[in-house]
């Protein structure tokens, strides 16, 4: 045994294995190292290079985000007033064009540059590493990233692709690109790429961009522009501005509403409240695919997050506020009790410009007393009324249960020609037993085959609340604290009746001084409120006296007492009204607004100075130590060298991000050249062919940031576009740009010498063919997921068992692709291209 071990570790300085594999590597010092040690060192170095590429790709993507997020101002007719215009902002870059050009280049730059560098470094002769990495990355992206994103979403939530026409165009070209590669290498001119073939391959890149752009604009479906969708790209409400005239990312009334929702959390500083509001804004903020890609890289390297991370104490409060908001939202929808927009606006809502009818609920919230035993839902139609429209309604349990609280509905209906509205009745079960107010949902959808004849509006889910009326209920204030300005005139305080609405009940109320004085700061009030049977809310109005003198904030209380009719007082039987001096109020609101804007600006990918870049690079989690976890410290320690090195890249604020774009692209090219050498030498040392090293180690390493980005997008975005919608586009761009450009360069070079550009099909053509089969199967599954209810009618998420089965199936496809490619490369599968 000792002899064998000795033989394995014997070092021969004469036998310098794999000494001629790379452009730069290996170094001569390796000659006296054992092969095993060199293999381990090269593997570690390869991983470290992938980490470096992830960090410089983060900077590269930040420059792309800065470039594509630029806006221009236009004047837009004010819909509220004639002869007036609003100044609004629109994005200069179209999302589809940005995703298929700069975004695809950003996410695939290592693979594309590897192919270009390899072919130029080989004196314009084709290699295996570049093309193999492109095919291997495509397989990983389509199969593994889809598998992870499908299972990343908690059941039964689901995500559908919104721009489906664009997805189908990019899916076709993502498949055709590899079929075209196979045809060029194995069919038209075997093992030779002619100049015209290289030109066509490269020109397919702009062709895909143009066709996808036209698909997004419904060029193939209709000549009319969908103005409703176009208007969503505009900022129709002019933004608020701070004292310097700079636009804010939010409106002040949103901030004030949040403060009211926050209530009496007296132990919070102004900075804490600003952080909480910034977190709320961050949750609802629109994110681009580039931002998710940047966040994916920073997760690997302990970098600064693009999402607001709250300290544990604030996170608990934030969670509690969100829970309370959802309860208040339900209660508000009750009181709206179908204060449905009576259809006196019906005629104005009919849009004759719509090519096909659009149907939706007239309102998304309904409430019904249990004793009424039915709720009537209204479905309205917009657009043409000269055709019949079929639609489907399905009830979904919330806290109310079908069969116990209401009669389940699951059937199709028809809106006759000429009808603008259809009323559907759902029966409610009155069980004469007390229980809390309960809810269920009604989903509006189109039957199969009806999608070409009609489309759905935005109101496709209705919430129905069954108000218990078997008990008199509890009476309480809706809010435990109310802030008012001194100049408001009067404060209106809402009193609600919950968990019952049976019979006529009453409650008395009275005001009580705290540090505000009745008759000087407000008018004292004491009276009785009467709730008739079924009534669930009342308003108390108390006049506020404006003495026009500067004074500190003052408060008084309003108390409920002495209920009648069997009703009881609820949890909030006392509310505190705080009268804020107008000047102090404005100062406090402006100060907090400034703090919130600072927190939001910290999330920006645009860096204004080298100093800021070095500070961020040298600090864990971008300097946010309070929310840093152990993973942040480990990632930061590993990536510290790369972070400091790449802090020398010009900030994105210079030249609108273009200087950062080109300098970071140069760094990626240098690192990619080294990766090509390291991967080639590593594969040689462990006995792997370049084609296998490319589709496994290199493809996996270059795709890791995309994996994290897609999973973050799947969880945080409302659609599946940012998670998997760009995968097919990137796969096509990899071939058309990553192979088209180096093929064009090399074919032009050899054409000038009157010699053919030889590209051996060999292992590559087999790998392409296997991937193409996997591509067809996986795309078929994604299409089935979109249309079959067993999968939740969505590409991602859905019911637990089906989503995990799909994920496992996709993983098995990827393993099958690697296995078959490996067996063929080593001669176990006979293949002649």
Q: CB 718: neighbour CB atoms within 10 A? A: 10
How high does pLDDT run on average in the chain?
80
- What pLDDT sits at residue 774? 93
> Would the pLDDT of 396 be above 80?
yes
What's the rounded Cα separation, in Å, for the pair 746 and 165? Answer: 35
- What pLDDT sits at residue 490? 87
What's the rounded Cα separation, in Å, for the pair 441 and 426? Answer: 11
What's the rounded Cα separation, in Å, for the pair 612 and 599? Answer: 15
Cβ-contact 210, 169 below 8 angstroms: no
Give me the mean pLDDT over the 748-752 stretch.
91
Question: pLDDT higher for 257 or 679?
Answer: 679
Q: How far is CA 146 from CA 143, 153, 283, 744, 756, in A?
A: 5, 12, 24, 32, 39
pLDDT 10s digits, 729-743: 788 888 888 888 899
What's the rounded Cα separation, in Å, for the pair 469 and 371? Answer: 7
pLDDT 10s digits, 175-219: 898 899 889 888 888 889 999 999 999 999 899 888 888 887 777
Cβ-contact 370, 533 below 8 angstroms: no
Length of the chain: 833
3 state SS of 56? helix
What's the rounded Cα separation, in Å, for the pair 262 and 702? Answer: 44
Q: Exposed (0-12), middle (13-18) or buried (19+): which is 776, by Cβ within 10 Å?
A: exposed
Give me the mean pLDDT over the 263-278 stretch.
68
What's the rounded Cα separation, in Å, for the pair 17 and 40? Answer: 15
Nearest to 692 by CA among 632, 767, 638: 767
> Would the pLDDT of 6 be above 90?
no
Question: pLDDT higher for 239 or 501?
Answer: 501
> Would the pLDDT of 755 be above 80?
yes
Spatial CB neighbours of 397, under 8 Å, sequence gap ≥ 6: 440, 441
> Would the pLDDT of 263 be above 60?
no
Cβ-contact 679, 697 below 8 angstroms: yes
> Would the pLDDT of 469 be above 70?
no
What's the rounded Cα separation, in Å, for the pair 513 and 522? Answer: 10
Q: How confident is the model at residue 260 (pLDDT cuts 50, 70, 90)?
A: low
- What pLDDT sits at residue 748? 93
> Would the pLDDT of 432 be above 80?
no
Q: In this prediction, what percent of the chain has a pLDDT beyond 90?
A: 18
Question: pLDDT higher for 794 or 258?
Answer: 794
DSSP 737: H
Q: How confident is the model at residue 562 (pLDDT cuts 50, 70, 90)?
A: very high
- What pLDDT sits at residue 8? 42
- What pLDDT sits at residue 233? 45
- What pLDDT sits at residue 169? 86
pLDDT 10s digits, 500-547: 777 889 999 999 999 888 988 899 999 999 988 778 888 999 998 876
Which phi and psi (to 5°) does residue 462 adopt?
-115, 135
Q: How confident is the model at residue 343 (pLDDT cuts 50, 70, 90)?
A: very low
pLDDT 10s digits, 57-91: 888 888 888 888 887 777 766 655 666 776 666 77
- What pLDDT sits at residue 536? 83
- What pLDDT sits at residue 599? 72
Q: How confident is the model at residue 344 (pLDDT cuts 50, 70, 90)?
A: very low
- What pLDDT sits at residue 327? 47
Up-side HSE of residue 228: CA atoms within 13 Å toward CB?
11
> Would the pLDDT of 132 be above 60?
yes
- What pLDDT sits at residue 663? 93
3-state secondary structure 269-302: CHHHHHHHHHHHHHHHCCCCHHHHHHHHHHHHHC
The residues facing 413 across adjacent strands are 391
Domains delineated in the chain: 35-218+605-826 (1.20.1420.30), 358-467 (2.60.40.2030), 474-585 (2.60.40.2030)
Cβ-contact 444, 391 below 8 angstroms: yes
pLDDT 10s digits, 568-585: 898 889 998 988 766 655
Q: In this prediction, what percent of the chain has a pLDDT beyond 70?
A: 82
Q: How confident is the model at residue 253 (pLDDT cuts 50, 70, 90)?
A: low
Kindly write down the DSSP assignment for every residue of 575-630, as one continuous string.
EEEEEEPHHHHHHHHHHHHHHHHHHHHTT-S----HHHHHHHHHSGGGG-GGG--H
> Would the pLDDT of 10 be above 50?
no
> Would the pLDDT of 470 be above 70?
no
pLDDT 10s digits, 303-338: 777 777 777 777 777 776 666 555 444 444 443 433
What's the rounded Cα separation, in Å, for the pair 694 and 764? Answer: 11
> Would the pLDDT of 152 be above 60?
yes
Give me the mean pLDDT over the 648-670 stretch.
89
Q: Is pTM beyond 0.75 here?
A: no
Residue 147, Ramachandran bin (φ over 0: left; ψ between -120 and 50: alpha; else beta): alpha
> Would the pLDDT of 454 be above 80?
yes
Report the DSSP pairing between strands 461-467 and 365-369.
parallel
- What pLDDT sits at residue 345? 40
Report, in angstroms and rounded to the nearest whole number, the Rg of the chain calculated over CA atoms: 32
- What pLDDT sits at residue 784? 93
Give me the mean pLDDT over the 102-127 stretch.
82
> Would the pLDDT of 667 be above 60?
yes
The residues facing 537 across adjacent strands are 496
- What pLDDT sits at residue 227? 43
Q: CB 637: neighbour CB atoms within 10 A? A: 11
Tracing tokens 């890609």 back to the chain, one arrives at 293
Question: pLDDT higher for 340 or 271?
Answer: 271
Q: Exposed (0-12), middle (13-18) or buried (19+): which is 382, by Cβ within 10 Å?
A: buried
> Would the pLDDT of 406 be above 70?
yes
> Would the pLDDT of 688 be above 90?
no
Nearest to 740 by CA among 722, 759, 756: 759
- What pLDDT sits at residue 387? 87
Question: pLDDT higher for 108 or 210?
Answer: 210
pLDDT 10s digits, 347-376: 344 444 567 888 999 887 787 877 788 889
């Amino acid at each position: 045994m000792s002899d064998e071990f000795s033989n394995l570790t014997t070092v021969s300085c004469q036998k310098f294995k794999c000494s001629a594999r790379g452009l730069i590597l290996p170094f001569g010092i390796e000659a006296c190292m054992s092969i095993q040690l060199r293999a381990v060192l090269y593997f570690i170095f390869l991983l470290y290079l992938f980490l470096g590429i992830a960090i410089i790709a983060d900077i590269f993507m930040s420059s792309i985000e800065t470039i594509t997020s630029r806006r221009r101002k236009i004047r837009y007719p004010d819909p509220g007033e004639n002869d007036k215009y609003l100044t609004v902002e629109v994005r200069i870059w179209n999302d589809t064009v940005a995703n298929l050009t700069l975004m695809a280049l950003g996410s695939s730059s290592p693979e594309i540059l590897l192919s270009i560098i390899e072919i130029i470094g080989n004196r314009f002769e084709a290699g295996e590493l570049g093309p193999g990495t492109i095919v291997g990355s495509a397989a990983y992206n389509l199969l593994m990233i889809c598998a992870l994103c499908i299972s990343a979403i908690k059941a039964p939530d689901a995500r559908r692709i919104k721009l489906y026409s664009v997805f189908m165009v990019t899916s076709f070209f993502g498949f055709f690109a590899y079929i075209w590669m196979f045809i060029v290498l194995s069919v038209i001119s075997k093992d030779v790429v002619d100049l015209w073939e290289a030109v066509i391959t490269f020109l397919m890149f702009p062709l895909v961009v143009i066709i996808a752009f036209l698909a997004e604009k419904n060029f193939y479906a209709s000549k009319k522009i969908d103005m409703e969708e176009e208007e969503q790209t505009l900022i129709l409400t002019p933004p608020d501005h701070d004292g310097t005239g700079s636009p804010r990312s939010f409106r002040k009334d949103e901030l004030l509403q949040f403060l009211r929702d926050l209530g009496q959390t007296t132990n919070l500083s102004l900075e804490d409240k600003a952080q909480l509001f910034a977190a709320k804004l961050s949750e609802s903020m629109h994110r681009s695919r580039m931002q998710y890609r940047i966040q994916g890289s920073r997760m690997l390297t302990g970098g600064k997050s693009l999402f607001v991370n709250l300290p544990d104490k604030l996170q608990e409060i934030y969670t509690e506020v969100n829970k309370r908001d959802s309860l208040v939202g339900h209660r508000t929808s009750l009181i709206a009790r179908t204060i449905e927009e009576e259809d006196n606006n019906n005629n104005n809502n009919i849009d004759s410009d719509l090519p096909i009818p659009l149907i939706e609920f007239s309102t998304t919230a309904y409430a019904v007393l249990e004793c009424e035993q039915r709720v009537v839902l209204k479905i309205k139609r917009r657009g043409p009324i000269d055709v019949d429209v079929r639609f489907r309604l399905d009830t979904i349990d919330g806290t109310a249960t079908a069969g116990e609280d209401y009669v389940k509905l699951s059937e199709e209906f028809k809106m006759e020609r000429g009808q603008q509205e259809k009323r559907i009745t759902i029966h409610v079960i009155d069980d004469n037993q007390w229980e809390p107010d309960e809810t269920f949902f009604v989903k509006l959808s189109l039957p199969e085959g009806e999608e070409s004849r009609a489309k759905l509006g935005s109101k496709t889910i209705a919430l129905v609340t069954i108000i218990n009326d078997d008990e008199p209920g509890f009476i309480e204030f809706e809010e435990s604290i109310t802030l008012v300005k001194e100049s408001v005139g009067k404060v209106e305080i809402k009193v609600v009746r919950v968990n019952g609405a049976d019979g006529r009940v009453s409650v008395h109320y009275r005001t009580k001084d705290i540090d505000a004085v009745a008759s000087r700061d407000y008018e004292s009030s004491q009276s009785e409120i009467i709730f008739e049977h079924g009534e669930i809310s009342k308003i108390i109005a108390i006049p506020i006296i404006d003495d026009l003198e500067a004074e500190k904030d003052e408060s008084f209380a309003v108390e409920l007492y002495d209920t009648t009719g069997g009703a009881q007082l609820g949890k909030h039987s006392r509310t505190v009204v705080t009268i804020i001096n107008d000047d102090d109020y404005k100062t406090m609101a402006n100060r907090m607004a400034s703090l919130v804007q600072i927190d939001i600006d910290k999330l920006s990918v645009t860096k204004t100075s080298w100093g800021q870049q070095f500070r961020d690079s040298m600090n864990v989690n971008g300097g946010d130590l309070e929310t840093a976890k152990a993973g942040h410290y480990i990632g930061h320690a590993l990536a510290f060298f790369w972070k400091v090195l790449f802090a020398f890249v010009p900030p994105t604020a210079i030249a609108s991000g273009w200087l950062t774009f080109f300098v970071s692209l140069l760094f990626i090219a240098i690192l990619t050249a080294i990766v090509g050498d390291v991967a080639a030498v590593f594969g040689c040392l462990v006995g792997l062919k370049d084609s296998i090293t490319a589709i496994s180690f290199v493809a996996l390493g270059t795709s890791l940031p995309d994996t994290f980005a897609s999973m973050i997008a799947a969880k945080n975005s409302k659609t599946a576009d940012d998670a998997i919608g760009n995968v097919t586009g990137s796969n096509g761009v990899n071939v058309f740009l990553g192979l088209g450009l180096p093929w064009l360069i090399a074919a032009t070079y050899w054409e000038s010498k009157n010699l053919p550009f030889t590209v051996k099909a060999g292992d590559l053509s087999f790998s392409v063919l296997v991937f193409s089969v996997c591509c067809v199967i996986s795309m078929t599954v994604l299409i089935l997921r979109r249309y079959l209810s067993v999968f939740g009618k969505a590409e991602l998420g859905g019911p637990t068992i089906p989503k995990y089965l799909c994920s496992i199936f996709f993983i098995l496809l990827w393993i099958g692709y690697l296995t078959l490619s490996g067996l063929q490369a080593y001669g176990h599968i006979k293949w002649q291209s």
